[in-house]
Structure formats: C-alpha cells, structure tokens
C-alpha cells in the first residue's frame, strides 16, 4: 500500500552521492528498505535499476566547480560516497593532483554548498589509508592516531577530512567521517574478486602459513554504520573506523573463502619471509605487504559512542559474496 503524502513529507531527505558505486548503491537500497528517509541519488547518468522510490538528480564531474544547488534543495542529510578511488596501476601524469581535484576540491565544494543550503549533517566516506598502510600485530589503528597517509589517495582523503572538520567548526552543519578498510560483499571487484577466482581455480597458493591480522568490512556492516551515523545525535563531528567484529589472517580468509565457494583452498605453507623476499626480487613488494602484513582497526569507539556493533558475521558475509560471484561467473 502506498504511503500518504503526509507520511512522505515527514521523512527527512538524504542525498547520496556515488549512488552508482559499490557502497553507494547498497546504501540507497538500504535507506529505501528502512523507510525512515526519502532518498535522492546524485548520478552521472540516470539509473534504471534503482528502486522507484529514489529521486535521481544528474551531477556531472565532481570538482571545485560542480553545481549542487538543485541536488541539495530540501535535503537534511548528505552521504558523500563519490570519490576518485584508489587504483593499483595509476596512469595519470599527476596522481595527487587528480585525487585532490575530486576528493578534496570536489568534496569541499559540496560541503560548502550543503552548509549554505541548511543541510544538518554530512557523512563522509573516507578511508583507513588516512591512518596508514599497516599496523604492528596487536596494535590496531584508532581514530585518534596521528594520520600517516602514504599514497595520493590517502593524502587526498586526509586533506578532505581536515577541510570538512574546519567547515564544521565555522558553520551549523555537522560532519561525520567514516574510515573503512577493504570492503567486500556481493558484487565486489578488484583484489577481492581476484582472490575468489584464484581459490575457485584450485591453483595451489603459497599462503598457508601467514600469521598476520587484517580487518575487513562486509558491505552490509559498513552500510549499517553509515546509516547509524546519518542522524545519531552522538555522531556529530566525530570520526569512526569501520570493520567486522573479527580480524582474519590471509590464510584464514582464503580457507573461509574456499568454504563459502564450495571449493577448499589449496594452501601451501610457505614462510611469509620467503614470500616477501621473492616478491621484492620481482618488484612486487607491495602485493606481498598486503598478503603478509597486518592492518587492524579498533572499532570500539563506534560501540561506545553509538552503541553500534557489526550486524553481519564474517562467514555469512563471505557466503553472500561467494554466492553472487558464482552466479555471475556461471559457477
């Protein structure tokens, strides 16, 4: 049964940027399902597969000149998930400049126009790369650690955060920053999809003795935290790290991915130091660092301040991820 116009009018309106992306699309679908907010999606081109209840507004390239006025009309909350994302093989002649154009100048342009339009709160999807690239075992990143971004993407996200928090100090608009690690879930691509393809192939992998610890975040868990941050009173002007309730070693991740895929991972127990040495010899040290190194996040602040806990456990999230992967690859 359709809701009355009066009921619809009582809902606060949320603008989601990056609605065609991995996180943005899932967020839009969750907000529509929750029926607590009306949803407006900022899209480059109209999308035919979004729920009918979503209002779509076309936005061209995001930079310092983007015009947001029409998209922000009547909006109380903004979730900014659009970004120039991290890429493994950067081809731009000025990577930092390219990231700054979208992730810093574009973000601050949106935030300034949002504050002028009377938006109550902007939730910014940042990255754990603001904290750094790795952690010592047992010493997870926390929100109050000194930022130490090492690549252009992380630097741009840190600069955007600084600009947003400065804006929050001089306007009535609140800001919330969420820093996730690698996000996985149904439809995931890039490195996580490559891992699934390797496990499914049955190829022996020299990763059976990796005793690192890494925090990942299931798409449903990240979306749930973002939704919580939209209007939770205690979230105002805070930074939160996102993650699952359980950290995994690379070996454990591959074994559990194999179980989810119905294809046990074939893991050979090669010492991590051997893998790192071999990778350095062939110029692939960064890949070895991600496979063998630790990257842990302490998500306790979200529990203390917001009462938030990840609603989805790791194995359930891996099964959902594997199911979509198998369906899309024809098993």
Active-site residues, by number, are: 153
Q: Shortest CA distance to 226 belongs to which of 77, 52, 38, 119?
A: 77
Tokens of 13: 């309106």
- How far, in Å, CA of 267 to CA of 281, rounded? 22
Q: Which residue has the tokens 């950067």?
A: 90
140 in Cβ contact with 85 (< 8 Å): no
Distance CA 56, CA 43 (A): 7
Answer whether 72's CB lies under 8 Å from 15's CB.
Answer: yes
Closest CA to 25 of 11, 39, 9: 39
d(CA 140, CA 315): 22
């Amino acid at each position: 049964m359709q809701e009355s116009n009066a009921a619809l009018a009582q809902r606060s309106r949320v603008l989601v940027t990056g609605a065609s992306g991995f996180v943005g699309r899932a967020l839009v679908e969750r907000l529509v399902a929750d029926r607590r907010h009306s949803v407006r999606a900022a899209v480059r081109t109209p999308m035919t597969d979004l729920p009918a209840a979503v209002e779509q507004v076309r936005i061209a390239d995001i930079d310092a000149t983007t015009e947001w006025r029409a998209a922000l009309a009547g909006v109380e909350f903004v979730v900014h998930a659009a970004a120039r994302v991290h890429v493994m093989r950067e081809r731009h002649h000025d990577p930092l400049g390219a990231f700054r154009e979208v992730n810093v100048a574009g973000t601050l342009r949106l935030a300034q126009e949002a504050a002028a339009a009377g938006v109550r709160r902007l939730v910014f999807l940042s990255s754990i790369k603001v904290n750094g690239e790795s952690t010592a075992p047992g010493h997870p990143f926390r929100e109050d650690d000194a930022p130490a971004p090492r690549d252009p993407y992380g630097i741009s996200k840190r600069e955007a955060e600084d600009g947003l928090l400065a804006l929050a100090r001089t306007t009535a608009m609140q800001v919330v920053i969420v820093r996730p690690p690698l996000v996985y879930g149904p439809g995931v691509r890039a490195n996580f999809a490559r891992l699934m393809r390797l496990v499914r192939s049955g190829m022996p992998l020299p990763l059976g003795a990796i005793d690192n610890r890494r925090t990942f975040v299931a798409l449903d868990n990240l979306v749930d935290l973002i939704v919580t941050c939209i209007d939770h009173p205690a979230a105002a002007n805070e930074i939160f790290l996102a993650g699952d309730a359980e950290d995994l070693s690379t070996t454990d991740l591959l074994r559990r991915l194999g179980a989810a895929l119905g294809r046990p991972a074939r893991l050979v127990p090669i010492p991590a130091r051997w893998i790192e040495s071999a990778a350095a010899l062939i110029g692939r040290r960064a890949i070895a660092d991600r496979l063998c190194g630790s990257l842990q996040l302490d998500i306790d602040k979200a529990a203390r301040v917001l009462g938030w806990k990840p609603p989805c456990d790791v194995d359930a999230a891996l099964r959902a991820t594997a199911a979509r992967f198998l369906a899309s690859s024809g098993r």
